[in-house]
Amino acid sequence: MKLTILTTVLALASGAVLADPVEIETARGPASVEQSPQKVAVYDIAALDTLLALGVTPAGVPEKVYLPRLAEPVAKAAKVGTLFEPDLEALSALNPDLTIVGGRSAPQFDAVSQVGPAIDMTISPNVVGDLRARLAAYGSLFNKQDAADDLTATLDDEIAAVRAEAQGRGTALIVLTNGPKISAYGRGSRFGWLHSALGIPEAYPNLAPETHGDAISFEFIAEVNPDWLFVIDRGAAIGAGGASARETLDNPLVAGTKAAQNGHIVYLDAGSVYVAGGGYTALMTTLEQMRAALVG
Beta-carbon neighbour count of residue 119 at 10 Å? 21
| Residues 44 and 82 both lie in one domain | yes
Residues 156 and 268 in one domain: yes
Contacts of 98 (CB under 8 A, 6+ apart): 33, 34, 37, 39, 40, 41, 116, 117, 118, 119
For residue 212, the model assigns a pLDDT of 81
Do 108 and 264 touch, CB atoms closer than 8 A? no
Question: Residues 124-149: what's their mean pLDDT?
Answer: 98
In this structure, the chain runs to a length of 296
Q: Does residue 111 fall inside a structural domain?
A: yes
> Residues 198-212, buried b or exposed e (16+ Cβ, 10 A)?
bebebbbeebeeeee
Please give the Cα distance from 53 to 287 (Å, whole number): 16
Q: Indicate if 111 and 231 belong to the same structural domain.
A: no
Does position 5 have pLDDT exceeding 60, yes or no? no
Q: What local confidence, expressed as pLDDT, does residue 210 receive? A: 74
Residue 50 has pLDDT above 60, yes or no: yes
Q: Can you tell me the distance from the alpha carbon of 187 to that of 189, in angstroms, rounded to the nearest whole number?
A: 5
Among 106, 122, 138, the domain-final residue is: 122
Domain identity same for 99 and 27:
yes
Task: Give per-residue burial for 72-85: e unless 16+ CB within 10 Å, then b.
Answer: eebeebbebbebee
Q: Do 84 and 172 share a domain, yes or no? A: no
pLDDT at 16 over 70: no
Give the residue from 122, 141, 168 where a domain finishes. 122
Q: In the prediction, which pLDDT does 289 show?
A: 98
Q: Is residue 97 part of a domain?
A: yes
Q: How far apart are alpha carbons 199 and 219 in whole angstroms?
A: 26
CA-nearest of 44, 42, 22 to 34 is 22
Specify the higher pLDDT residue, 218 or 4: 218
Higher pLDDT, 241 or 288: 288
68 within a domain of the structure (yes/no): yes
Q: What is the pLDDT of residue 174?
A: 98
Own/partner pairs, 147-151, CB within 8 angstroms, 24+ separation? 147/54, 147/55, 148/54, 151/53, 151/54, 151/280
Range of the domain at 64: 19-122
Same domain, 37 and 78: yes
8 within domain boundaries: no
Phi, psi of 143 (to 5 degrees): 55, 45
Q: What is the pLDDT of residues 254-267, one digit of tens each?
A: 999 999 999 999 99
Backbone angles phi, psi at 13, to 5 degrees: -65, -35
| Domain tally, the chain | 2
Distance (Å, whole) CA 224 – CA 172: 10
Whether the CB-CB separation of 291 and 253 falls below 8 Å is answered with no
In a domain, 127, yes or no: no
Assess whether 172 and 274 both reside in one domain.
Answer: yes
Judgement on whether residues 227 and 264 belong to the same structural domain of the protein: yes
pLDDT digits (tens, 9 = 90+) for 65-124: 999 999 999 999 999 999 999 999 999 999 999 999 999 999 999 999 999 999 999 999
State the CATH number of the domain containing residue 158: 3.40.50.1980
Looking at 122, 143, 168, which one is the last position of a domain?
Answer: 122
Indicate if 77 and 162 belong to the same structural domain: no
Indicate whether 56 and 191 sit together in one domain.
no
User: What pLDDT was estimated at residue 15?
Assistant: 42
Nearest-10 crossing angle of helices 45-53, 280-295: 90
In a domain? residue 88: yes
**Statement: residue 8 has pLDDT above 80:** no
Q: Look at residue 91 and tell me if it is in a domain.
A: yes
Decide: 101 and 45 in contact? Cβ < 8 Å.
no
Based on the domain organization, do 109 and 235 belong to the same domain? Answer: no
214-267 pLDDT, tens digit per residue, is 999 999 999 999 999 999 999 999 999 889 999 999 999 999 999 999 999 999
Q: For strand 98-101 and strand 181-185, is the pairing parallel, antiparallel, or unpaired?
A: unpaired
Residue 9, pLDDT > 70, answer: no
Quick: pLDDT tens for 32-49.
Answer: 999 999 999 999 999 999
How far is Cα 227 from Cα 229, in angstroms, rounded to an integer? 7
CA distance 21 to 38: 14
> Does 157 lie in the same domain as 273?
yes
In a domain, 236, yes or no: yes
User: What is residue 211's predicted lDDT score, i.e. its pLDDT?
Assistant: 73
- Number of Cα atoms under 13 Å in the Cβ half of residue 177: 27
